[in-house]
Amino acid sequence: MVCETIANARSEPERYRHTMLGLLLDTRDAEGRELPEAEIRDQMMTMLLAGHETTANLLCWIWYALGENPEVEAGFYEEADALEPAGEQAFDAYRSLSYTNRIIQEALRLYPPAWIILRETDQAVTMLGEAFPAGGSFLISPYAIHRNGNVFEEPEAFRPERFREGAGKWPRFAYFPFGGGSRSCIGAQFALLEAALILAVLGRRFRFRRTDAGPVRPEPLVSLRIRGGLVMTPQRRGEAIRRGLANDRRGGYDENRKPSTEEIERI
């Protein structure tokens, strides 16, 4: 599939001009040479694999969390409905989704797709009185660290408002869903952009409801999945309702205003 897409992009460059693949095909090294075919393929495979499963699992956790928290869900739909339905550039739309981004950050805190991170020491080190040799391996779990009650108030609760002032108020590495240092995730900003836009586009049209009320348990595999998956039914949202809420909130979503019971039911 990837090789076929690359071939299509070479034969129709204008169609792919503003895509990642188009940028790779236009890239030249210091001597003016194109990137090798194998490197373009590898870059596309990395984006497809690393940027697909992790984001998909994160979105599943977000839809689950929204269904469990009606006030947060109402705020999400209110902000999505305030977006212009067409004509807005992706980056402009992303910047206007402040509450949606806090929802994503809170989901990354509770359900980080990269639930465990491997690091190796390049030299001997002593920590907390324990000596570790060079080449020692460490397994670091954002899933566990993000639930530290000494840092996060009500650590098990889904509260996007805790990110109103960003993550800088907490100690370094108290919150690190994308890792840290020189080996942090190179696609972090892309993942945040992708997740926010997908949520907004789907949220304008549908609400998602679980088909059962059974317990949801995490399954820590390559990334953090929901064990057994999450079966939900999309329900098309009424156009009149969306227009009415958007007209009521032209100034954008105000997270300090709690939605009324009537609004929650309408959404």
Which residues are part of the catalytic machinery?
A: 54, 178, 185
CB 27 within 8 A of CB 35: yes
How many CB atoms lie under 10 A from the CB of residue 159? 16
CA neighbours within 13 Å on the CB side: how many for 136? 13
Residues 6+ apart with CB under 8 A from 164: 102, 255
- Residues 127 and 227: beta-carbon distance below 8 Å: no
Q: Nearest to residue 219, comparing CAs of 228, 211, 210?
A: 228
Q: Residue for token digits 């952009």? A: 193
Backbone angles phi, psi at 194, to 5 degrees: -60, -50
Question: CB 75: neighbour CB atoms within 10 A?
Answer: 27
* Closest C-alpha among 188, 38, 37, 208 to residue 113: 188
CA nearest to 21, candidates 50, 56, 45, 53: 45
Give the whole-angstrom CA distance, residue 73 versus residue 99. 11
Report the C-alpha gap between 144 and 139 in whole angstroms: 11
